[in-house]
Amino acid sequence: MKNPFRLPRRANLSRPLRWLVPVLLVLLFLAVLFWLPWQARQMEANERQEQLIADTLWVEQTLRFELARSEEALAMLGADLVAKRPVPEVLHARFVQMFKNGPELRRVLSLDADGKVQAQHGADLPAAYPQAVGTETHEMARLTRAGRYTDPYGAKTNAPGLVDYYLPLFQNGRYAGSLLATYDLKVLLDEAVPWWFAQDNALTLLDRNDTPLAARAAGGRGRGVYTHRRALDLPGASIVLVTDSVKGAPRLLPNLLVGSVIVLALGLLWSLLALWRHISRTLAAEAALRQQMAFRTAMENSLMTGLRARDLEGRVTYVNKAFCEMVGLPPEELLGKKPPMPYWAPEAMGEYEERFAGVLAGTITPQFESVFQRSNGVRVPVLVFEAPLVDSRGNQTGWMSSILDITDRKKAEELNRQQQEKLEAGARLATMGEISSMLAHELNQPLAAISSYTAGALNVLERADKGVPVEPQLLRRALEQARQQAQRAGQIIKSVHEFVKKSEPKRETVAVDSVVDGIRALIELQTRQSYVSLQILLPLGLPPVLADRLMLEQVLLNLTRNGIESMIDASPERRILRITASFDAAQVSVSVIDHGHGIPQEVAERLFSPFFSTKAEGMGMGLSICRTAIEFHGGTLTHAPNPGGGTIFTFSLPRQEASVELQ
């Protein structure tokens, strides 16, 4: 179908090209605008990072210088101790001078060749610090003949981190002892780092496991933006200096100039948007229309439901692909057509014309079933839903119909109906099989009577042949009795034949009392066999119902048979089966009342389920078929306990007047 809203190809191609250059220029301007502040920010960040690295190197050199000065003082003291050991007063003065020049010193020990302390100065280490930390370091310093530091210790306690320095002493090539100096890393960091540097950076000394040994952060904690790690070049010790600047990342808009440029750019964008406004509205309307057309096309091509739109005069204004496939006609043969339509079936022409008259009158049936005829003559049962078609201003412009092909549903319903009929016929045959022995006993009585009456008539005729006068009244009476017995036997056989024969369900006006009379002989046959008393109490003026007689007979016979079987173990005076009826303005109710064993609660919950039975030889279909048959007529089948013991089964059917109204 041709799209009337499609624009010329040249016009479609010219519009993108028309706006391509301005859009590219604006995008380039915005890119440069935002790149410049970002680049300035990156440059500032790099400068800060480089400055931090340089400051960290300076701090590292300062710390190393302080330790080197202390190492030099220890070396001079060691040389004096090897050459000529000073008197204790001079040695003590030397120690005091070393501690005055290096506040980071915690203690100094003079050890002999066996590791025994010969002299010491400074405070003893608290018990929280481990002992003999530098045994391996001491041995390594002796072997390498050079001073060596231990790994830091004490940081895992609440005390400051410490580090030891071992300086081996040799005299004439022989090991003569060692000097041991202990440094407080916290004091070293506080004394060596200027206050102004600590205001801008947080400094931390870490061991090889990144455990903090000492920290100084006069300006607060670092922000983690600009950081640098630098290892202190100490032989034998692994100490890392970490600096973390308290400054954050530079802002994206560092000055007023960049902000002014952005404001101007936003003004340019606003001016450009104002310029595009009129054209954008046109393009938006066109795009919305194109999108709506594409959406409607995709929707109608994907639906399995037929769609048909008609105006107020019944003219077809729209059909989708599914509807065209349903009726077997192309859109060209349907659009613009007025009734009669080419897909109307001849046998339903009156129904179509009646509904079309309702369309012209402004009324429709919201939902109905109908039949369409394809172009090849095949009938298609359909289910039609109709609703008013309203435009954007709220005015009705026609009617919209959704059509479903219900061919498969109809086939399923027909198959279900046939299966139901087979079940009902099987149930009737099973019922007759159960009463066949009683039927034979019942037929024996009229047949035996017929035989007796005919034998008597033959005797009368034989005496007439011998000259004995014939009594016509006696012969007539015998033949009349034989005729009555033959009619009785025929009635029994006819009832059985009508009951078991297969026939289509046929609803007709049925009197309930005639249904009871029709199977009364079969019911009495069962009651006599089981020594049950039958009471039929039907009120006068019982209204008729619209139903299938054979179905009602089967329901009534099943219910009476169940009632008779439930009273097998009852005492003789309680074996009473009662059939009663009542009616009101809407329905007619028939009850079958027994005085049997009743129905337990656990059985009552599954009583009407298919294939559920409490009888060893039962199929479990009797009550299920009865309920299905009653519901087929729009009625209900229920049960209740009998106050006098037993069960009351009641089925209710709409009266004929109510049934006609429902059609």
Domain boundaries, the chain: 1-254, 303-405, 408-504, 507-663
Q: Are strands 647-654 and 587-593 parallel, antiparallel or unpaired?
A: antiparallel
- The yes or no reply on domain 507-663 and CATH 3.30.1950.10 is no
- Which one of 44-48, 51-55, 409-413 scores highest in mean pLDDT? 51-55
Examine the pLDDT at 422 and tell me if it is beyond 80. no
- Angstrom distance (rounded) from CA 464 to CA 497: 41
Count CB neighbours of 415 within 10 A: 10
Per residue in 580-634, pLDDT (tens digit) is: 999 988 899 999 999 988 887 777 666 665 544 555 444 334 677 788 778 888 8
What is the C-alpha separation between 520 and 492, in angstroms, rounded? Answer: 10
* pLDDT for res 2: 43
pTM over 0.75: no
The arithmetic mean of pLDDT across residues 200-219, rounded, is 85
Identify which has the larger pLDDT, 374 or 588: 588
Higher local confidence (pLDDT), 608 or 115: 115
Strand pairing of 379-390 and 367-373? antiparallel
Q: What class, spelled out in words, does domain 1-254 have in CATH?
A: alpha beta
Superfamily of the domain at 303-405:
PAS domain (3.30.450.20)
Which pLDDT tens digit goes with each residue over 275-298? 777 777 877 778 787 888 777 777
Given a cut of 70, whether residue 13 has pLDDT beyond it is: no
pLDDT bin (cut points 50, 70, 90) of residue 656 is confident
Nearest to 644 by CA among 593, 602, 579, 607: 593
Fold equal for 303-405 and 507-663: no
Mean pLDDT of the region 428-435: 56
User: What is the rounded CA–CA span in Å between residue 47 and residue 35?
Assistant: 18
CA angle 584, 589, 594 (to 5 degrees): 140
CB 566 within 8 A of CB 596: yes
